[in-house]
Amino acid sequence: MDDTITERLVELGLTRNEARAYLSLLRHGRRSAAEVAEAAGIPRPKVYEALNALERRGFVRSGGQRVRAFEAVHSEVALPEWVSRRDQERKLEAEREQRLADELSATLPSPPEPTPAPAHTELIDVTEGREETAGLYEDLVARTNRTVDVSYAGFGVRPRERWADAERGALDRGVRVRVLFAPELLDDPARWRPVEEAGGAVRISATFPLKLAIRDGEEALVVLLSEARDGGEGVRTVAIRHPDLVAPLQLLFQQEWRRARAVDTSPDTAQEE
């Protein structure tokens, strides 16, 4: 009970030591600082600080000729006066901040006029590199408002620790996320299980030919393997930014989604949307 009352007093702006000291004085009556410290479990060096603050705030009174003693002001008096004082302090602080804001608004320089965005947007753009592709994909998913459809082939572009971050972020925003995985990726549940557990829809497709991501039916990324400059395996990404060009890819994904099987079904079982 004491802990609950103490926390509520703290919510009103007292420190924890002040709250304990005040509660102790309410219960035990007039006490010296040493007696308050012992009864309330406050370190002796801290009890004077707490009691002096309580007196300034109207919660206690003190007196005595040789040994200073403290007594609590009734809560029906102290609490309303304290709340009223806090309201007044907040009002004064708000007025001070408003004056400061007005002064700064009149003093600070105005920002330069924004540079107009180019009217022309590349409808198709090609990017090379795994890290560059990972950045494009994560940006595309972050800009999704309604739906993102993704298909994963047998090669990856994102580091393992970031595999499901973008999809989980989209699901947290209320975006519908559907992901097709190649069967060989089932061997590593870390690729698909976090998406499913976060509320995404996951299916398995052995026939879908593309590594693909589609945002809101308006923008798509197609990821292809290519030869790197050092002769190794590289990644080339085609970004498509026009709904008319994205529509055939969306139709292709939708057809494959209907044919694909759920993760926990047998290979012969087809799932209809």
What mean pLDDT is predicted for residues 95-100? 94
| Of 182, 226, 172, 188, nearest in space to 203 by CA | 182
Residue 87 vs residues 13, 16, 94: alpha-carbon distances, Å: 12, 21, 10
How many alpha carbons lie under 13 Å from residue 199 in its C-beta half-sphere? 9
**What share of the chain in percent tops pLDDT 70?**
88
pLDDT of 269 = 39
Q: Of 88-97, 203-212, 258-267, which gets the smallest average pLDDT?
A: 258-267
What value does the mean pLDDT of the chain take? 85
| Residue 46: pLDDT over 60 | yes
Q: In what order do the strands lie in the sheet with 124-128?
A: 124-128, 233-240, 219-227, 211-215, 147-152, 176-181, 201-204, 261-262
Please give the model's pTM, rounded to 2 decimal places: 0.51
Q: pLDDT class for 115, splitting at 50, 70, 90?
A: low
What mean pLDDT is predicted for residues 217-237? 79
pLDDT of 119 = 52
| Of 154, 214, 209, nearest in space to 178 by CA | 214
Q: pLDDT class for 266, splitting at 50, 70, 90?
A: very low
Instruction: Report how far residue 49's alpha carbon sits from residue 161's, in angstroms, rounded to the nearest whole number.
Output: 50
- Walk me through the domains of the chain, giving residue ranges and CATH numbers: 2-79 (1.10.10.10), 124-262 (3.30.870.10)
What mean pLDDT is predicted for residues 26-35? 91
pLDDT of 268 = 45
Q: pLDDT class for 272, splitting at 50, 70, 90?
A: very low
Q: pLDDT class for 160, splitting at 50, 70, 90?
A: low
Contact 223, 235 (CB under 8 A): yes
pLDDT of 231 = 61
Instruction: Report how far residue 149's alpha carbon sits from residue 201's, in angstroms, rounded to the nearest whole number.
Output: 10
